[in-house]
Chain A
Amino acid sequence: DAMVIQNPRYQVTQFGKPVTLSCSQTLNHNVMYWYQQKSSQAPKLLFHYYDKDFNNEADTPDNFQSRRPNTSFCFLDIRSPGLGDAAMYLCATSRSPGWGETQYFGPGTRLLVL
């Protein structure tokens, strides 16, 4: 009865080779988030979708993009991964943005860039 699913759990890519990470949810939540968490650091919000509305954080590099083709799925695309993009990528969902709504996190995808 997994609620937020991320695939793959581990991803190895080469420097500069585009990579896509996937997130799906069975909660029918309106909001989906992508966070980047580097080793021993706080998770950092990259962007979120509220329904089909895309909201990018001001300091998210242009190298990162996202797609949400329907309510259940959201993708993170890294166009040209660099060594500094190696991290855990966490997907989360909530019913609405803010106002005390709990965010539910997936297990994460660990990205390694060679």
Chain B
Amino acid sequence: KQEVTQIPAALSVPEGENLVLNCSFTDSAIYNLQWFRQDPGKGLTSLLLIQSSQREQTSGRLNASLDKSSGRSTLYIAASQPGDSATYLCAVEGDYKLSFGAGTTVTVRA
């Protein structure tokens, strides 16, 4: 059974600092890994999807890396802003289903 872990559970940084969010998974037989954003009481918004054959994916200030062999992914958010405050979840896809981590809740202080 796939287990996905995100550490730390919460993170608080001053505006402008770069954010580094970690995700680890136990079974390297995955199709892809996704990073999602969840605002309080809301649904999930897909940020980045990395195929299993890729090493990284970038979108604006966001960059995600994937090391399948070690079961790790990292999401980097450059020059954080208060609007980046949210919970960030990673999910790995095996067969047809996504297995999620519990997320890292980020607070960016103005």
Seen from chain A, the residues whose Cβ lies within 8 Å of a Cβ on chain B are 4, 6, 31, 40-45, 48, 50, 55, 57, 88, 90, 92, 97-100, 102-108, 110
Contacts and interface: CB of A to CB of B under 8 A. Distances in A.
A109 B78 CA distance: 32
A6 B98 CA distance: 20
Interface in B69-110: 89, 93, 95-103
A44 B4 CA distance: 12
Chain B interface, DSSP helix/strand/loop, else mixed: strand
Contacts of B51: 100
Interface of B: 4, 9, 31-32, 34, 36, 41-46, 49, 51, 89, 93, 95-103
A1 to B, nearest CB: 15
B32 A100 contact: yes
8 contacts: A41-B102, A43-B89, A43-B100, A44-B100, A45-B97, A90-B44, A100-B93, A108-B43
